[in-house]
Every structure is written in C-alpha cells, then in structure tokens.
Amino acid sequence: MSTLVDYDDAVARYDTVIGIEVHVELGTVTKMFDGAPAGFGEEPNTSVTPVSLGLPGSLPVVNGKAVEYAIRIGLALNCSIAETCRFARKNYFYPDVPKNFQTSQYDEPIAYEGWVDVELDDGSIFRVEIERAHMEEDAGKNTHIGGSDGRIHGAEYSLVDYNRAGIPLVEIVTKPITGAGARAPEVARAYVQTLRDLFRALEVSEARMERGNVRADVNVSIRPTPQSPLGTRTETKNVNSFRSVERAVRYEVSRQAGVLDDGIAIVQETRHWHEDTGTTAAGRVKSDAEDYRYFPEPDLVPIAPDRAWVEEIRASLPELPAARRRRLQGEWGYADAEMRDVVNAGAVELIETTIAAGASPAAARKWWMGELARTAKQQEVELAELPVTPTQIGQLQKLVDDGRINDKLARQVLEGVLAGEGDPETVLVARGLEVVSDDAPLLEAIDAALAAQPDIAEKIRSGNLGPVGAIIGAVMKATRGQADAGRVRELLLERIQG
C-alpha cells in the first residue's frame, strides 16, 4: 500500500477536482409516495404502509408538498425547473429497498443547471455550479448483527426497519468543482454548510446532520495540472458532518497522491469514511453490479410543474442566508471580520435573538463571542448547545445596563445560569451578587481601607491622587466586587476633601 503524501506537498504537485452529492430528507409530514408518517425516532416498522413495504398491488402517488419543496430548493440554487420530468426505477437488490428498486429520477430531474455562492472562512466567495437536483425516496435502515467487529463482514444476519423507506429526498449534484486547488477541502465543507443553511431557511427540512437529514457523498480526483484531463475519481459515501467532509477530501488527496507517486493507477471505487481514524477505506469497485437498469416508472405519471405555480413558489422564497447575513451585518454595524467570526461560530441566530431580547448588538456579540465562546470551546460543544438561551443573555445584559451588576458580577451570574441555577435574576438573588448601591456600607469599607493603609491615606490627603487605586481596590475586595468602582472613587474623594 502506498504511503500518504503530506497534504501541502500533494497540493503543490497535483490539482484537486471534487464533486459533491448531497441528499436532504424533506420535512414533509408524509412519505414521498404514500401517506405513512415521515417522522424520526418512531418504533421500528410502525411508520409503514403497503407502499412503503413494496407489497404487491400497492401503488404510489406523489406527495405534492414534496414536489413543491424540491422546486423551492431548485429555485434557491438558481436552477431551471423542468417543464416536464418523470420518475424512474433504479433497480438493485438490497433489503433496505423492499421493492428491489428505488424510485428516483434519472434522465429527467426536476431541477437542473444552477449555481450557489459559497462563502469561505476568509470571506471570499466561491461559486459552485449545480448539475441537477432530483427527487427520490430514502431507503430503510439496516442494522448488522453478529460478526467479530459488528461491521458487515461476518455479520450473521441483518435487521431491517422500513420507517425511513419512502421518506422524500432531494439529491443535489454539483458539476466537477475545479479551481479550488489547495482549498478544495474547505470549499467542500463550506458548500455542504451552505446547503444546510439554505434547507433550513427554505423550511424544507430540519437539516440535522446528526440525524442523517443531510448526507454527503464526496467525489475526489487529482491531476498533475489544472490543464490535464480529469483524473480517476473515488466516491466516499455518507460523510455526515461538515468537519468530516473537509477531512475526507483532504485524506483522499493525500492518499491518491501517494498512489500516483508510486506509479499506480487510481481505482474508480466507492470508499467508506471512518470517522474515528479520519481515513477512507476501499468499498465496492464500480463494475457491472452497478448497472441499475433504469427505466421510466410506469406507476407514476410525469410531473409538469405549471409555470404559474413555479413563479408563485419563486415569489414566496424567504430571504436566503447570504442576503440575510449581509442585512444583519448592516443593521448590527459589525465589521466584516467580526461578522465572519459570528457566522463561523454559528452565532447568527443566537445574537439575533439576544438583540431581540433587548441587548445592543455590541453587547450581544461580546457575550456570545467572548465568555460563551470560551466556555463552549472548553466543553467542546457548539454555542447553541450551551445550557443558556439568548433570552437569558438579553436578561443578563439588562441587569448590567440597569446598573444592578457590573461586568465582573455578570460573569458570575452567567456562571450560575450555565450551572443550571435558573434565570439571571434568580441567580443574582440566590447568590447575593447585586451591586452595593447603598453608600453606607461603601463608606464603611472606605474608612476601613484608609485606616488599614495610613501611609497611603496620608498621601491622598496631601493631594497626591496617584495611589487612590489601592484604596478602591481594597474596597472592591471587601465588597466582593459588588461595589460600583466609580461610585467608590467619588465617595473616597468626598471623604478626603470633606
């Protein structure tokens, strides 16, 4: 086996071309071709009808909502919507498809020839050309039982749950993505992320990666120069997180460079992604077995989306994520780099809701990109997963704005909120963190501090204000940080001058 080539070395000598297929499960109530529930997490084989099970005599009928969602996706990806299109049977034998074929679209997809602009980490825009977006149905779920390592070889038997069989999918296929060079892994990741954001904005799917609502197959090939003909590609299946998409492309580039350096030809094959090791492993070699013998589905009539309907859907498209980001950045007055950090941290919605809860844009950003970002990083979770809501951050900031706590106390209150002690107000009361606004205890602490440091007191009295910080510090310490330092200074000066 060839050795991996260091990534930087590989991209210095080879040009990378990628192609990505993304499957998204549509958030319809029912399945693509029958009225069975299209939900998630039900007991096995309880969301099925004769159609989902492919029972003889059962006939499919297209879910109109799924067609509408597919058109929404197509339009948002700047695709043309087919005047007429049809379904086809993709024939293969595997127990997750009870009919022995998957109903898909083959030569006539509902949407074709589009593009989407993808924003990279440095803010630059990379345009990805879309080949097609077509409708199909999901397969059931197999679980392999037995065998030494629980993986499929050596499995004694497999268990099949058909709840997922028939859930509507849209598959989006890019044209070969060239010109990304060394940034191909980043482009791949940003593209999948862009689609995920788009699906959510369009409200066509919950688009939760961890539930497999969005799944990516990543094609990678390399060639000596951008002018060379395309190299042989491999297809890494079911790469299901943004990070994995990036890692899978990177790994394949390093691996293929090693193979080519050894003078060996790349085998066109399906590869499997191993999350734990960050590597891909050879799967099936593309061969005759992949002759799916597509033919038009005789049980379904063609779909010819009425132009007026298409225009109605186009007019109803919501503001898309990129435009929304630009608008929010203007409203919030963030610099480009600040906005980019916010977007990359997945904090746009969090900050938007925090601002809606009353915080200023600057304060909202300070909390989410400062204290909370640090906490999330420490705990290795996403910002949105922290046990604090944007509304609570809004409440916390209001306590600061009202002068009831200072920044330092606010951080302690936040600590309490994160520890599950309740809303900011509750934590503040329970922990007794309110700023001391009554002058009497402050004066008491000032007198004590002056008495404890007579030499400093003397200097101040003689008009040298240099060391007032020492006294203020002592007062802050004595009040456990709950004093307003500005007020302490005022009182101290009055005390000395009076």
Partner 1 sequence: MSTLSRDEVARVAGLARIDLTPAELDRLAGELDVIVESVARVSEIATPDVPATSHPLPLTNVFRPDVLVEPVDRALVLASAPEHVDGKFAVPQILGEDA
Query: Is residue 300 a contact residue for partner 1 (CB under 8 A)?
Result: yes
Query: Is residue 54 a contact residue for partner 1 (CB under 8 A)?
Result: no
Among 12, 152, 362, 381, binds partner 1 (CB under 8 A): 152
Q: Minimum distance from CB of 97 to partner 1 (Å)?
A: 11
The sign of the CA dihedral 27, 28, 33, 37 is: positive
Query: Is residue 296 a contact residue for partner 1 (CB under 8 A)?
Result: yes
Query: Is residue 106 a contact residue for partner 1 (CB under 8 A)?
Result: no
* Residue 488 · residue 444 · CB < 8 Å: no
Among 6, 9, 12, 46, binds partner 1 (CB under 8 A): 46
Among 183, 272, 431, 489, binds partner 1 (CB under 8 A): 272
**How many other C-beta atoms can be found within 10 angstroms of the C-beta atom of residue 291?**
9
Stretch that binds partner 1, among 304-312, 336-344, 400-408, 433-441 (CB under 8 A): 304-312
Nearer to partner 1, 276 or 291 (CB): 291
Among 149, 288, 402, 438, binds partner 1 (CB under 8 A): 288
CA pair distance 447, 488, nearest whole angstrom: 11
Among 12, 64, 403, 407, binds partner 1 (CB under 8 A): 64
Residue 31's nearest CA partner among 132, 159, 140, 133 is: 140
Among 125, 230, 267, 304, binds partner 1 (CB under 8 A): 304
Query: Is residue 213 a contact residue for partner 1 (CB under 8 A)?
Result: no
Q: What is the DSSP string of 436-478?
A: B--HHHHHHHHHHHHHH-HHHHHHHHTT--TTHHHHHHHHHHH
Burial of 378 (0-12, 13-18, 19+ CB in 10 A): exposed
* Residue 199 · residue 172 · CB < 8 Å: no
Query: Is residue 29 a contact residue for partner 1 (CB under 8 A)?
Result: yes
Residue 96's nearest CA partner among 154, 162, 45, 47 is: 162
Nearer to partner 1, 239 or 436 (CB): 239
* Residue 168 · residue 66 · CB < 8 Å: yes
Nearer to partner 1, 293 or 374 (CB): 293
Strand partners, 220: 18, 234
Query: Is residue 23 a contact residue for partner 1 (CB under 8 A)?
Result: no
**How many other C-beta atoms can be found within 10 angstroms of the C-beta atom of residue 47?**
23
Query: Is residue 171 a contact residue for partner 1 (CB under 8 A)?
Result: no
Pull the structure tokens for residue 112.
């074709």
Nearer to partner 1, 286 or 411 (CB): 286
* Residue 7 · residue 141 · CB < 8 Å: no
CA pair distance 496, 460, nearest whole angstrom: 8
Query: Is residue 53 a contact residue for partner 1 (CB under 8 A)?
Result: yes
Query: Is residue 316 a contact residue for partner 1 (CB under 8 A)?
Result: no
Q: Minimum distance from CB of 218 to partner 1 (Å)?
A: 16
Stretch that binds partner 1, among 138-146, 243-251, 458-466, 490-498 (CB under 8 A): 138-146
CA pair distance 155, 494, nearest whole angstrom: 84
Q: Minimum distance from CB of 431 to partner 1 (Å)?
A: 49
Query: Is residue 48 a contact residue for partner 1 (CB under 8 A)?
Result: yes
Query: Is residue 321 a contact residue for partner 1 (CB under 8 A)?
Result: no
Query: Is residue 30 a contact residue for partner 1 (CB under 8 A)?
Result: yes
* Longest CA–CA separation in the chain, Å: 102
* Residue 182 · residue 3 · CB < 8 Å: no
CA pair distance 29, 46, nearest whole angstrom: 15
CA pair distance 347, 385, nearest whole angstrom: 11
Stretch that binds partner 1, among 74-82, 297-305, 352-360, 367-375 (CB under 8 A): 297-305
Residue 239's nearest CA partner among 203, 283, 303 is: 283
Q: Could you give the residue ranges of the DSSP H alpha helices within 357-406?
A: 361-366, 372-379, 390-401
Stretch that binds partner 1, among 129-137, 155-163, 206-214, 450-458 (CB under 8 A): 155-163
Q: Minimum distance from CB of 421 to partner 1 (Å)?
A: 41
Query: Is residue 216 a contact residue for partner 1 (CB under 8 A)?
Result: no
Query: Is residue 283 a contact residue for partner 1 (CB under 8 A)?
Result: yes
Query: Is residue 142 a contact residue for partner 1 (CB under 8 A)?
Result: yes
Question: How many residues line the site for partner 1 (CB under 8 A)?
Answer: 69
CA atoms in the 13 A half-sphere facing the CB of 107: 5
CA pair distance 71, 82, nearest whole angstrom: 9
Query: Is residue 301 a contact residue for partner 1 (CB under 8 A)?
Result: yes
CA pair distance 230, 365, nearest whole angstrom: 45
Task: Please list every residue from 67 through 96 that binds partner 1, using CB under 8 A.
Answer: 67, 84, 86, 91, 93-96
CA pair distance 97, 138, nearest whole angstrom: 9
Among 106, 112, 162, 332, binds partner 1 (CB under 8 A): 162
Nearer to partner 1, 82 or 388 (CB): 82
Nearer to partner 1, 12 or 304 (CB): 304
CA pair distance 209, 497, nearest whole angstrom: 66
* Residue 201 · residue 319 · CB < 8 Å: yes
Query: Is residue 137 a contact residue for partner 1 (CB under 8 A)?
Result: no
Q: Can you give the binding site for partner 1, defined by CB under 8 A?
A: 28-30, 34-37, 43-50, 53, 55, 61-67, 84, 86, 91, 93-96, 139, 141-147, 151-162, 237-238, 272, 283-284, 288-289, 291, 293, 296, 298, 300-306
